[in-house]
Amino acid sequence: MSIVFEKTDKRTTTPFRADIVGSFLRPQSIKDARIKFKKGEISSEKLNEIENKEIIKLVEKEKVVGLKAVTDGEFRRSWWHLDFMWGLDGVEKKVIDEGYKFNGLETRPETAVLTGKIGFSNNHPMISHYKFLKSIAGDDVIARQSIPAPAQFLAELQRGENKEITDSIYKNTEELVSDIANAYRKAIKAFYDAGCRSLQLDDCTWGMFCDKKYWEARQTEDIDMNEIAKLYAKVNNEAIKGHPDDMVITMHVCRGNYHSSWASSGGYEAVGEILFGTVKVDAFYLEYDTDRAGDFAPLRFVKDQLVVLGLISSKTGKLENKEDIIKRIKEATKYIELNRLCLSPQCGFSSTEEGNILTEEQQWDKIKLVKEIAEEVWK
């Protein structure tokens, strides 16, 4: 017997019932061009020209499969988070001894460190990147921008040896949080002025808090994880305070996404009350594709926001069973009404330029499945 769902409202803005997180597998032409650029074989103008061509083709594909919100696939980025940070005033790229640790893998050893007080200037490269996306998207879809959350930036500045540099510039955490929030408010205004009406904050800090081993390790360092969680909620809220009413700001939470690997495990229960109850975004994009994300019970803490269930894995090429996904959506409605739910992959397909281990065809099959299920569930 088929599952029957109640009638729901038609959505006219993000998040849509069938949605995405943002990044797509980099085409080989872009990978080759980046290598040539690093070797000095092509100019930055030529690299930009190649990126433009591939982004135009990507947006067209996104439209063809029926997406109502499109992205540039993060084709111009190396990382989902560091590129934005490197573009801020008072921040520089630094090569370190060790990269981020994932399940059996280690990333490139790069980070963002401070050289002075944090600020934002309108010549930040991602503003022009967004303007290009907006110019090719047309009026029939929403051009969406994603950037790392303020809390993610704060965590990067206080990670490992970075903290010593940060502490040499900022006397206290309050001053640091204030400057981060101010820089982000200026960034949000710049994106808004460029035409952006849908901004996504990517924040993996909450995924780490969900991990019991990570939590217990930090507790032995005499650190109150609840206080850190409240601090991260505060910097996120301060950064988006006063944003234009017609600009939707959402948040994506996951547990790491690098070359089909992951960094943490654990359900949202540990942070649900603080994350869902106090962070004032319009919607949450949540990883829910494996048991590592726990059950849906923490969704009871969500107030009036929407939740995009990341039930389709971007880490593997194996296509999910449609009926299994529909059953899981029904299960989630025990804690939050269907009208406040949407569907997407659990993360992007290429959070870093390396990309996950699946083909472009498998990537698009996943998006088509999201669309097919959404049309069946949300009528």
Q: Could you list the pLDDT tens digit for every one of the 379 residues in the chain?
A: 468 788 899 999 999 999 999 999 999 999 999 999 999 999 999 999 999 999 999 999 999 999 999 999 999 999 999 999 999 999 999 998 888 777 778 888 899 999 999 999 999 999 999 999 999 999 999 999 999 999 999 999 998 899 999 999 999 999 999 999 999 999 999 999 999 999 999 999 998 888 877 767 666 667 788 899 999 999 999 999 999 999 999 999 998 888 888 678 889 998 999 999 999 999 999 999 988 889 999 999 999 999 999 999 999 999 999 999 999 999 999 999 999 999 999 999 999 999 999 999 999 999 999 999 999 999 8
Predicted pLDDT at 215: 67
User: Running DSSP on this structure, what letter comes out for residue 223?
Assistant: -
The two beta strands, 198-202 and 145-148, are parallel
Q: Write out the CATH class of domain 28-377.
A: alpha beta
Burial 62-72 (b: 16+ CB within 10 A, else e): beeebbbbbbb
The pTM for the full model equals 0.95
Number of Cβ within a 10 Å radius of residue 116: 10
Question: SS3 for 335?
Answer: coil
Burial (CB count within 10 angstroms: exposed 0-12, middle 13-18, buried 19+), residue 333: middle
**AA identity, residue 67:** L
Q: Where are the domains of the chain?
A: 28-377
Distance CA 179, CA 195 (A): 25
Residue 306 dihedral angles phi and psi, to the nearest 5°: -90, 160
In DSSP notation, 33-97 reads HHHHHHTTSS-HHHHHHHHHHHHHHHHHHHHHTT-SEE--TTTT-SBSSHHHHHTSEEEEEEE-S
